[in-house]
Amino acid sequence: MTEEEKEADTVNETKDAFVTAAVAKEAKKINQRRTSGRTKNVGAKNVGEVQNLPDVNDDTYEAKICEVNTLFTEASDLSKQYGLAKTQLHLLTKETIEKLTDAQIHELLALKWISPLLTELHKLPEVLINQLTSHVQALADKYARTYAHIVTEIQETENSLTALMDDLTGNEFDMQGLNEFKALLK
């Protein structure tokens, strides 16, 4: 739609939707203007049907309003049909439920509640075992390096540090400090 067409009363204030009542009123006026002076179009189902009025150009404002009015009418009709179908389905469901025998009720309850519950209960031990397995594996990974291995690494590090300190030189006081530190390491 052009900016001028968007300024019409048929479009809301934010210019992003049509106003249903204004569109219906405008479509009625358009059809009255188009049909005045000639016989009424016998094949038209709705006042706003563009396809049954041959003198309307599809790009005109009037054609757009008539088409929007037709779409609003169709949407309204579909909404009514949906409401009726929903009500009919509800009533049919209610009637069907009321006619169930005790055996059918027990069968439906078993299918809806008992079978899924039993299936989940049968899965429960497997789920718990998988969780326990993953926790044990995490602990095994965490403590993969044993205490003995760590103590061995500490001793190797102390020995290499002591060997490196033997290569150091310094004054008398520095050497006494290094010797005391070596004694602590051994």
In a domain, 133, yes or no: no
> Do both 18 and 81 map to the same domain?
yes
> Do both 83 and 161 map to the same domain?
no
> Do both 89 and 162 map to the same domain?
no
> Do both 20 and 93 map to the same domain?
yes
Model pLDDT, residue 57: 58
Mean pLDDT to the nearest integer, 169-180: 88
Q: Which residues pair with 18 in a beta bridge?
A: 11
- Band (75; pLDDT cuts 50, 70, 90): very high
Tens-digit pLDDT profile for residues 23-55: 888 888 888 887 775 544 444 444 444 444 444
Give the DSSP letter of residue 145.
S
In a domain, 141, yes or no: no
In a domain, 123, yes or no: no
Model pLDDT, residue 1: 67
Tokens representing residue 143 in the block: 């403590």
- Band (170; pLDDT cuts 50, 70, 90): confident
Q: How many domains does the chain have?
A: 2
Residues contacting 63, CB < 8 A, separation 6+: 50, 56, 57
In a domain, 58, yes or no: yes
pTM of the model: 0.45
> Do both 88 and 173 map to the same domain?
no
144 neighbors 164 (Cβ within 8 angstroms): no
Tens-digit pLDDT profile for residues 1-26: 677 676 677 777 777 788 878 888 88
In a domain, 113, yes or no: no
In a domain, 56, yes or no: yes
Given a cut of 70, whether residue 155 has pLDDT beyond it is: yes
The DSSP annotation for 5-42 comes to: HHTSTTB-TTSSSB-HHHHHHHHHHHHHHHHTTS---T
> Do both 12 and 83 map to the same domain?
yes
> Do both 29 and 94 map to the same domain?
yes
Domain final residue pick, 39, 67, 98: 98
Tens-digit pLDDT profile for residues 95-147: 999 999 999 999 999 999 999 999 999 999 999 999 999 999 999 998 888 88
> Do both 86 and 168 map to the same domain?
no
Which residues span the domain enclosing 35?
Answer: 3-98
Domain final residue pick, 37, 66, 98: 98
> Do both 165 and 79 map to the same domain?
no
In a domain, 108, yes or no: no
Model pLDDT, residue 40: 45
In a domain, 120, yes or no: no
More confident residue, 134 or 179: 134
Please give the Cα distance from 27 to 41 (Å, whole number): 15
67 neighbors 30 (Cβ within 8 angstroms): no
